[in-house]
Chain A
Amino acid sequence: MTAMKLGIRGKIYCGMISIVLLTGLMIAVPVRVMVERALSQETLNKGMSMATTLAARSQDFILGMDFLYLKEMMDKAIQSGNDVSYSFILDQQGQVLSHTFKNGFPVALKTVNPVPAGEPSRIRFLDTGKELIYDIAVPVVIGDMRLATVHIGLSKTRINRTINSLLWTMAVLIGCAVLIASLTGAVFADQIIRRVQKLHQASEQVLKGNLNVTTAPGLKTACWTLMDCRNAECPAYGQDRQRCWNIEGTQCPSCREIKFAAKSDACRNCRIYRTVSGDEIQALAESFDAMTRSLKHTISELEASRKTIAESEKKYRRIFESSMDMVFVTDCRGRFLDINQTGKTILGTESAALAPDGFSFPDVFSSPSEYADIQTDLVRQGFVKDREFTLKTISGNELQALLSSSCQIGSDGELLGCEGIIKDITQRRNMEQQLLQADKLASLGQLSAGVAHEINNPLGLILGYTQLMLRDEPENSQKHEDLKTIEKHTRNCKTIVEALLNFARKTETKKMLVDVNRAIEQVVTVIRHQFELSGIAVQTRYDPELPQVLGDTEKLKQVVMNLVMNARQSISAAGQITVTTRHDARGRRVAIAVADTGSGIPPHVLTRIFDPFFTTKPTGQGTGLGLSVSYGIVQEHGGEITVDSESGKGSLFSVILPAAVQTG
């Protein structure tokens, strides 16, 4: 069973009733004891006085043996008060001289209360079974001679009745007092509860967010009227709801220098406070109102701050998210707390999550030793700047990246977390590599061109003189055969020299508008049949909207031929070669892609494939000039050639050429 909880009203009732009951009890109990004692004492005094009087008055009658008069005296004594139960006189021999009992004298009374010699009196408390009796015995003494003893019996039961009657009267009075206390309590309780309920309702309104509540009543006397103040600059001036001690910046000389936080204490001694301050609930209501005002002000400031912070957060979030580099935040254990979109793209995560479970900052490093070095520097100096490392994506790809990071160190020197930026420099590195390659090829081209130019003329002379000599020698002669061999190899040399000159762009180029799709188709038509005999399928996917390019048709066809032949050579058995054209309208470029399903190019030779005379074929099967010549032709046409190859899966050669500018 749930215990009933008392409200304030119940507590006030209980308190007042308790006070009245307790007060009544505190009065009733001692009063009862005092009254009982006083009544008992008074009764005993009365009895003692009566017995003493009887003893004095009975002397002569005892001496004169006037039993009738003695009897009258005894009877009168009994009639003198309701609480006198009996009286009797015993002589020195213990014989009854006179008594007031109607049916004989109780024998036990003769000896129950003897007065010892020399004692003036003796009181004995007796219980007859029907009532309680004080037996008061006073000797009848003449001089120092004791004649007899007078006994008076006073009923305590009758005293108790009187006391009980008194107690009942007090109980009724206390009951009336309780009733009055309850009524009075109701009046006070209603006042208090009404004010407390108002406060409660106001607090609920505040909880709901309504801070425009007022609980304290309007001021009957304001400080500015009390002080006859005319200072309109004082914030308390003209206020009819707020107490001046709840207002900041009041201008009274006595409180001008006091800070607001100290006002509640400092103002207690002020004359205004002593004059107009209300009771505790009033003070509570005023404090509550002051609190809501302060809260409202603080919330307004907080709202403004929050807006500022939100704008700042938005700005920095935009910077964070729009950064083209990976920006990240980790905890002390390297777990990613935040990664921007670029970061997610770099790491290769497509989910909304920052990173897969278990994938943390250390996992970004391809080499654990690199991470260890960087971590050591981070802890030691608190930051690292532009540290290049190989980044490993979630899918395992590797990228070249630059890391700048700072870490937060706790007061105890422990690592709290890190923030940093990772910049993907793979493309830049590739560009640098390509530039390096281009520089290298350019140098080779210049060298080759110089050599070819110097060799080309003697080769022409050799070929010329050889052909002249052939005329002079009969066919089928040994000499004729030798000269044919010289002519053949001289022609080979001349072909190589021409290729070198093409590579070095030293051959004449006749540029015109070229339909790339048509040029490719002409090449494919030549080789398709032969390739298919070897089990190699050649597919073409032409972009019908492909624009023309400005270039040398034959040279471009040579490039396509070289790429297709290379593809053919990379396919050891059956396979497929796909030639695709595509128009990059935005970049105004034409892309030609030659993909094969061959053996692919090992990574370690990937950077050398465009070098002149570099070949993976056995000696005598290739000159190593095909890709070099193609590279030179594409460069001559303002384009670029790239390769993407994976060993064992095939290669993709891409040629990008600028589209011809359409005129007219």
Chain B
Amino acid sequence: MKHLAILLVLCMGLSACTGDEPAQKIDLSKREAVEVRDADDAVTYAYLPQYSHSVSYLRHNLLVEYLKNETGYNIRQIFPDTFDEHMRLVGQGKVDISFSNPYVYIKTAHRYGERAFAQVIETSGHKRFRGQIICRADNASIQTLEDCKGKRLIAVDLTSAGGYLYPMGQFYDHGIRQEDFAEVRFSPGPGGKQEKVILAVYAGQYDIGLIREGALNVVADKIDIRQIRVVAYSKYYPGWVYSARKDLDPEVLAKIKAALFKLSMDEPAHRPILEKAHFTRIVPANDAEFDSVRKLMAVVGIDLDK
């Protein structure tokens, strides 16, 4: 009986054993209200959200930091969720420096008086770029633009240049109109819209997709891009453009322009900034350089006032 009692005590004792590690005492009773922070007084820098915010951040954060240091202004990158929001913020004067595609620029210039002041030379060495019409590589039914008729189509955004306007112009050049497709949809927002188009085609959700050239490389680490086939390229059109709010202080603009034009791949300190932004150089530009795009928009039937 004594042994049994010892055993029971042992059982109870061992059952009480736990593996708790020491805990740090903390007092949660002292509380504070979290304030909603107001927008500070800064020069705002917005990158048209053709990619996700994080990609936008990764590509332009160093550039923004560089501009801060070069100009001495408090320059803050803001992240609109959609092209429309970008344009809306531009219209509301909340974007001082806008880096957008020619389509958005033409619209905002038309609507809000944005002034183009610089263009970027991309890693391809050109300041122009083009769009791509893609399908799944194993989709044998699509070999030519004609084959695209009656197919489901997805594009980046109605306001996307490389992801809608330029490749759609290519269809129009071949007599294929928007109504010829079984379905035309745009990538759901916010952000990451180029990737979403590629992924939608990759997944077979849509037969053909419209993207800007180079977007496939962005998703090369996510999918096997060999499964994607480029059906056709658009013509080359002007590339992305820096524009300034119409009433931006000229001095501020001048300092920013100077800083941007100063960037060089030959400069070790500038090289990572440009590489991150996928630029090789930033060169001066003016509004007339985008007239070809204005014509294309007219062909496609885009109303700049809408």
What is the 8 Å Cβ interface bit string for chain A, positions 58-72, against chain B (1 contact, 0 not)?
011101111100000
C-alpha gap A388/B190 in the complex (Å):
149
Q: A14, A60, A126: which has the most chain B beta carbons within 10 Å?
A: A60
B149 shortest CB reach to chain A, Å: 36
Taking CB atoms, residues of chain B closer than 8 Å to A96 are: 34
User: How many interface residues does B have (CB within 8 Å)?
Assistant: 43
- Is B88 in the interface zone, CB < 8 Å from A? no
Q: Which of A1-24 contact B (CB under 8 A)?
A: 4, 6, 10, 14, 17-18, 21-22, 24
Contact A17 B56 (CB under 8 A): no
Contact B1 A14 (CB under 8 A): yes
- A37-B53 contact in complex given A107-B32, A127-B24, C-beta closer than 8 Å: no
Taking CB atoms, residues of chain A closer than 8 Å to B264 are: none
- Is A663 in the interface zone, CB < 8 Å from B? no
C-alpha gap A108/B58 in the complex (Å):
32
Contact A64 B31 (CB under 8 A): no
Which of B11-19, B125-133, B194-202, B291-299 contacts the other chain?
B11-19
Contact B15 A143 (CB under 8 A): no
A158 shortest CB reach to chain B, Å: 14
Taking CB atoms, residues of chain A closer than 8 Å to B26 are: 106, 108-109, 112, 126-128
- A132-B23 contact in complex given A101-B31, A104-B31, A108-B28, C-beta closer than 8 Å: yes
Contact of A143 among B7, B10, B58 (CB under 8 A): B58
Taking CB atoms, residues of chain B closer than 8 Å to A6 are: 1
C-alpha gap A132/B22 in the complex (Å):
10
- Name the residue on B nearest A60 (C-beta): B53
Taking CB atoms, residues of chain B closer than 8 Å to A565 are: none
- A36-B18 contact in complex given A18-B4, A103-B31, A104-B32, C-beta closer than 8 Å: yes
C-alpha gap A28/B34 in the complex (Å):
47
Taking CB atoms, residues of chain B closer than 8 Å to A143 are: 58, 61
- Is A353 in the interface zone, CB < 8 Å from B? no
A21 shortest CB reach to chain B, Å: 6
B62 shortest CB reach to chain A, Å: 9
Contact A14 B4 (CB under 8 A): yes
C-alpha gap A24/B11 in the complex (Å):
9
Taking CB atoms, residues of chain B closer than 8 Å to A198 are: none
- Is A451 in the interface zone, CB < 8 Å from B? no
- Is B220 in the interface zone, CB < 8 Å from A? no
Contact of B19 among A14, A36, A128 (CB under 8 A): A36
Taking CB atoms, residues of chain A closer than 8 Å to B15 are: 25, 28-29, 32, 167
Taking CB atoms, residues of chain B closer than 8 Å to A21 are: 7-8, 11
C-alpha gap A142/B34 in the complex (Å):
25
- Name the residue on A nearest B21 (C-beta): A125
- Is B27 in the interface zone, CB < 8 Å from A? yes
C-alpha gap A106/B21 in the complex (Å):
23
- Is B203 in the interface zone, CB < 8 Å from A? no
B5 shortest CB reach to chain A, Å: 10
What is the 8 Å Cβ interface bit string for chain B, positions 264-291, against chain A (1 contact, 0 not)?
0000000000000000000000000000
Taking CB atoms, residues of chain A closer than 8 Å to B190 are: 60, 64
Contact B56 A63 (CB under 8 A): yes
B221 shortest CB reach to chain A, Å: 13
C-alpha gap A22/B81 in the complex (Å):
64
- A126-B31 contact in complex given A22-B7, A29-B14, A29-B17, C-beta closer than 8 Å: no
Taking CB atoms, residues of chain B closer than 8 Å to A107 are: 30-32
- Is A253 in the interface zone, CB < 8 Å from B? no
Taking CB atoms, residues of chain A closer than 8 Å to B7 are: 18, 21-22, 25
Taking CB atoms, residues of chain A closer than 8 Å to B80 are: 64
B54 shortest CB reach to chain A, Å: 4
C-alpha gap A141/B57 in the complex (Å):
11
C-alpha gap A507/B8 in the complex (Å):
127
- Is B52 in the interface zone, CB < 8 Å from A? yes
B201 shortest CB reach to chain A, Å: 23
Contact B4 A142 (CB under 8 A): no
Q: Which of A98-126 contact B (CB under 8 A)?
A: 99, 101, 103-109, 112, 124-126
Q: Can you give 27 contacting A-B residue pairs, CB < 8 Å? A: A6-B1, A18-B4, A21-B7, A22-B7, A25-B10, A29-B17, A32-B17, A36-B19, A59-B52, A59-B57, A60-B191, A64-B78, A67-B36, A96-B34, A99-B34, A105-B34, A107-B32, A109-B26, A109-B28, A112-B24, A112-B26, A124-B24, A125-B22, A127-B23, A132-B23, A142-B58, A160-B18
Complex A-B, nearest 4 residue pairs according to Cβ-Cβ distance, in ascending order? A104-B31, A60-B53, A127-B23, A63-B53
Binding site for A on B (CB under 8 A): 1, 3-4, 7-8, 10-11, 14-15, 17-34, 36-37, 52-54, 56-58, 61, 77-81, 190-191
Binding site for B on A (CB under 8 A): 4, 6, 10, 14, 17-18, 21-22, 24-25, 28-29, 32-33, 36-37, 59-61, 63-67, 95-96, 99, 101, 103-109, 112, 124-129, 132, 142-143, 145, 147, 156, 160, 167
